[in-house]
């Protein structure tokens, strides 16, 4: 028992396992991406249409109707600048929400994988994360195009973007392993997750800078790891500002530990999936 736990808690074993199934992960990820647009008339174009339409709506409501200001200046933030700032915040959050909302039903939607074949169920969260990351790369491309159109330049800090992705990846994977396992045993968890994600949507500084929040409430918002993740993305994609490396290192370490705990939990509980399904 002790040796089994030591093996599970060894991150190198987890990495080796995913490397072993890398071709399967790749094929399932491609299938997941294609499945989103299979049978639709516009197909892949929906990847661009949906975020752009939502971006226009959010920009109109917050920048024009509410006349929201991003900085502390008295002047309103131009709508085009507000749109890019908003899009940079939505990019990591959309990855998080897409994976987390799917996770509770991830195992119960594939009972054949559980009962009839020997299948590495632990790779399923990696697959849906890969699909969400693919979409986010398209969002990043749109932001860079916006930079070129508005400012005729791309910030050099874009080279640090892969580092901004790391805590997002580990946080999302950890949650997905926890939720996909719990979803087998507690079917109502899917409804609860949808509500929590909506709460996080408005308590993460996507539509506003954290500096606009009263001082006494900022500590509460900083408990949310997405707060720092969104800021990392904005700094690298738009603001061309140095990243707070201490905050990044602390958050990355914590999310790595969280992902490992989620993986261990999933591997310990998956032997009971067949009995429930």
Q: What is the pLDDT of residue 163?
A: 94
Q: What is the pLDDT of residue 178?
A: 96
Q: What is the pLDDT of residue 150?
A: 78
Q: What is the pLDDT of residue 252?
A: 96
198-239 confidence digits (pLDDT tens): 999 999 998 888 888 888 788 888 899 999 999 999 989 887
Residues in Cβ contact with 277 at an 8 Å cutoff, skipping those fewer than 6 apart: 107, 108, 111, 114, 115, 184
**Residue with more model confidence, 159 or 176:** 176
11-42 confidence digits (pLDDT tens): 777 788 888 999 999 999 999 888 876 655 66
Q: Is 223 helix (H, G, I), strand (E, B) or coil?
A: helix
pTM: 0.88
The span from the CA of 238 to the CA of 275, in Å, is: 50
Mean pLDDT on 142-162: 85
Block residue for tokens 């294609």: 34
239-254 confidence digits (pLDDT tens): 777 778 899 999 999 9
Q: Is the pLDDT of residue 181 over 70?
A: yes
Q: Is the pLDDT of residue 76 over 60?
A: no
Q: Is the pLDDT of residue 8 over 90?
A: no
* Averaged pLDDT of the chain: 85
Block residue for tokens 């949650």: 175
* pLDDT band of 74, cuts 50, 70, 90: very low
- Degrees (nearest 5) of the Cα angle 124, 126, 130? 120
The span from the CA of 56 to the CA of 102, in Å, is: 26
Structure tokens belonging to residue 164: 């901004």
**Residue with more model confidence, 209 or 265:** 265
Q: Is the pLDDT of residue 255 over 90?
A: yes
* pLDDT band of 176, cuts 50, 70, 90: very high
Residues in Cβ contact with 41 at an 8 Å cutoff, skipping those fewer than 6 apart: none
Domains in the chain: boundaries: 2-276
Mean pLDDT on 74-99: 82
Contacts 24+ apart (CB under 8 A), 104-113: 104/179, 104/180, 104/182, 104/183, 104/189, 104/190, 104/193, 105/183, 105/190, 106/176, 106/179, 106/180, 106/183, 107/180, 107/181, 107/183, 107/184, 107/273, 107/277, 108/183, 108/184, 108/187, 108/277, 111/277
111-133 confidence digits (pLDDT tens): 888 877 788 999 999 999 999 99
Percentage with pLDDT > 70 across the chain: 86
Cβ atoms 34, 40 nearer than 8 A = no
């Amino acid at each position: 028992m002790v040796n089994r736990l030591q093996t599970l808690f060894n991150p190198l074993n987890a990495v080796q396992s995913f490397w072993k199934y890398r071709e399967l992960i790749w094929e399932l990820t491609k299938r997941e991406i294609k499945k989103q647009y299979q049978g639709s008339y516009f197909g892949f174009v929906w990847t661009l249409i949906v975020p752009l339409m939502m971006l226009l709506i959010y920009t109109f409501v917050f920048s024009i109707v509410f006349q929201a200001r991003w900085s502390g200046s008295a002047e309103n933030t131009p709508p085009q600048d507000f749109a890019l700032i908003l899009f940079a915040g939505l990019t990591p959050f959309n990855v998080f929400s897409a994976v987390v909302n799917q996770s509770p039903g991830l195992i119960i939607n594939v009972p054949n994988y559980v009962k009839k074949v020997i299948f590495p169920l632990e790779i399923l969260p990696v697959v849906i994360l890969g699909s969400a990351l693919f979409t986010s790369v398209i969002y990043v491309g749109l932001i860079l195009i916006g930079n070129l159109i508005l400012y005729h330049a791309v910030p050099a800090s874009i080279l640090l973007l892969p580092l901004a992705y790391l805590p997002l990846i580990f946080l999302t994977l950890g949650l997905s392993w926890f939720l996909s396992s719990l979803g087998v045993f507690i079917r109502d968890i899917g409804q609860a997750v949808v509500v929590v994600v909506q709460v996080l949507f408005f308590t993460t500084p996507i539509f506003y800078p954290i500096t606009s929040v009263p001082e006494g409430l900022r500590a509460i918002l900083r408990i949310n790891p997405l707060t720092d993740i969104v800021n990392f993305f904005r700094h690298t994609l738009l603001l061309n500002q140095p990243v707070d490396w201490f905050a990044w290192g602390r958050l990355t370490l914590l999310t790595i530990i969280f992902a490992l705990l989620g993986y261990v939990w999933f591997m310990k509980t998956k032997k009971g999936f067949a009995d429930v399904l």
